[in-house]
Structure 1
Amino acid sequence: MAQAFDGIELTTGDTPAWAVIWLHGLGADGHDFEPIVPQFARRDWPAIRFVFPHAPIRPVTINNGVRMRAWYDILGLEIAQRQDVDGIYASVKAVDALIAREAARGIPSERVILAGFSQGGAIVLAAGVRHARPLGGIVALSTYLPMAERTDAERSEANRAVPIFMGHGTQDPVVGVALGQMSRDYLANLGYRVDWFDYPMPHSVSPKEITDLGDWLGERFAAAAP
């Protein structure tokens, strides 16, 4: 029996042709990026279903074991060194289930965009390059590629050409821009098309980033139009 969806959904039209599955960051929930939809959805876009799942509630080591919504545990300050591999894989599996849920509702994987911020961005990168069917794109904001050393062996042939948007603040004290750049370069060296954008901001999202992301998404939708 399929697990009930835990999160929020918004649609921009009666019959969505695309889905954007958007994962929040550590300690937030699906409501975090809900207000972004009216800010950047454009009139010439096809109807879209925005899916904002809530992460499970779990103890987070770096926060003294306090329970909060998290896609995986954070074991220490060196986030790319000590990684909760089991937690990451579990969330990758959850993303796969969300993609399958959209397919069951009539939106094929080719018209699914995975998006995420911080922890959520790490999961969509890990899930996107491993997903068995082609995706419409990956949006990774203020984040990094987890389990980078496993990527080449585990990535899917179906998504070797998936377009990737990476946005990062140059003043980010949580996920340093250097780590984001290393992830960008690692993916590019594997042959992925990565569109990189950086902004003079901390661990956040800026209006310019939203504009750039809207332009990028518009390109994806236009390229897939009949």
Structure 2
Amino acid sequence: MKREFAVIGLGRFGGSVCRQLSKQGMSVLAIDKTEAKITEFRNIASHAVIADASDERVLKELGLRNIDHVIVGIGDDIQSSILITLMLKELGIKRITAKAQNDYHEKVLLKIGADQVIHPERDMGKKIAHSILSNNIIEHIELSDEYSIVEIKASKKMVGKTLVDLDIRAKYGCNVVAIKSGLTKEINVSPSGDDPISIEDILVIIGADADIYKLEKKFNES
């Protein structure tokens, strides 16, 4: 079944989320109180509505109770962001993701029931820092303040060795959960410890940020 999303606030963050979900073929209800934004997204989202989402009556009339996941993309107006998140929670929305302006804003959003809070600027800063410090990290997904999943391109120091040889779990406290083949592009979930790593393979690794950093530093080719 196609999942249904609603995005409230079509600024840089909310607009980007709306575009990406729509590209993936999801049903997206785009909501903003600015006519220009709704005009922009009318041909992108499944539905685009001019509305003031800080009005509880409006949220009910839009039928948000039937939406699987609501993304609150409002960050600059902290009061509206908090109010809307609280009302969505009271409406019984299954999953709420909200954008936070700062750490205090994040704490409040989590306290009132947001399932996930995004710091676009902070998270992008961390991602850029990882790419600057590393030649091998392709993707970095933050699971919490201390744990992440990363995709690491196999370095020359890894090629030809097996996971048993590298002993990543014992030496670095990280787990290799999958290997993407550089040749076939196939993904091997729970790879065997005896299979040698090939050039251009990509290791999908989960662990504490500090442990991932030690691992990457050891095998970095710079």
Question: Taking structure 2 as the reference length, what is the TM-score of the superposition?
Answer: 0.34
Question: Taking structure 1 as the reference length, what is the TM-score of the superposition?
Answer: 0.34
Structure of higher RCO (CA pairs closer than 8 Å, 6+ residues apart):
1
